[in-house]
Amino acid sequence: MLTALAGCTDEEDEKHRSGTDAKPGTAKAALAELPVKAAASKDGYDRAKSFGTAWSDKTDAPGSGNKCDTRNDILRRDLKDPVFDDGKKCVITSGTLADPYTGKTISFQRGGGGGSVDIDHAVALSAAWQTGAQKLTQAKREALANDPLNLIAADGPANRAKGDKDAAAWLPPNKSFACPYVARQIAVKKEYKLWVTSDEGAAMRKVLDTCPAERLPAETSPEVTLKPQN
């Protein structure tokens, strides 16, 4: 008779599969604490009405209110050697992105002529809507849409291929980023009290089984927190 983990009791095997044996502070431990429910209806979802004006600087998200729109905040954080428009401390005109989704290096140029860079919501907003966000207050949803924890500068075509898919349907082509990507999604879901679907949770666990020590990112993590303005 085959056993899932040689030398493990049934109880130990169940703990491993559920993630309850994971070390505190890891993404796997946080995943085990998330509720598991079926996806809610997408009825009523509207990007602007449900989550506010895109890239608003007037939300409760960390870093908001710094007089720079959220898109440029994330470009300043994620691009190497960002160049600012003359006289405009918030407008990024160019820079280099080590794209986490594809592993490519992208030379970004504002207004075309360079590589396409999007700002992706790690937990897509329509997916968030179907896993608990429709129960949040308007202010909390607008914070979710502009929270640096949920935002990643990424290759435009890869981001559009993702669309509003969750981890069960899409993971970054760059397999080395799968663990940080899933950990980021889990951190967002924990912060905003969202749930995972059964398939989504299973896909996340499969990824995290390859990196059980992956830490759960926080607002103060270097890859999350915004850089100070010059």
What are the pLDDT tens digits along the chain (230 aa)?
334 445 655 555 555 565 668 899 999 999 999 999 999 999 999 999 999 999 999 999 999 999 999 999 999 999 999 999 987 889 999 999 999 999 999 999 998 767 799 999 999 999 999 999 999 999 999 999 999 999 999 999 999 999 999 999 999 999 999 999 999 999 999 999 999 999 999 999 999 999 999 999 999 999 999 998 76
Count Cβ atoms within 10 A of the Cβ of residue 219 and give its class: 0-12 exposed, 13-18 middle, 19 or more buried: middle
pLDDT at residue number 4: 45
Count Cβ atoms within 10 A of the Cβ of residue 170 and give its class: 0-12 exposed, 13-18 middle, 19 or more buried: middle
pLDDT at residue number 13: 54
Six-digit token string for 152: 């990643």
pTM comes to 0.91
Parallel/antiparallel/unpaired status of strands 105-109 and 117-121: unpaired
Count Cβ atoms within 10 A of the Cβ of residue 30 and give its class: 0-12 exposed, 13-18 middle, 19 or more buried: buried
pLDDT at residue number 228: 87
pLDDT at residue number 199: 98
Give residue for tokens 């995943």: 31
**Angstrom distance (rounded) from CA 105 to CA 22:** 34
Report the Cα 34 to chain-centroid distance in Å: 16
pLDDT at residue number 78: 98
Q: Could you tell me if 124 and 150 are in contact, meaning their C-beta atoms sit under 8 angstroms apart?
A: no
pLDDT at residue number 8: 52
Count, residues in the chain: 230
**Angstrom distance (rounded) from CA 141 to CA 212:** 30
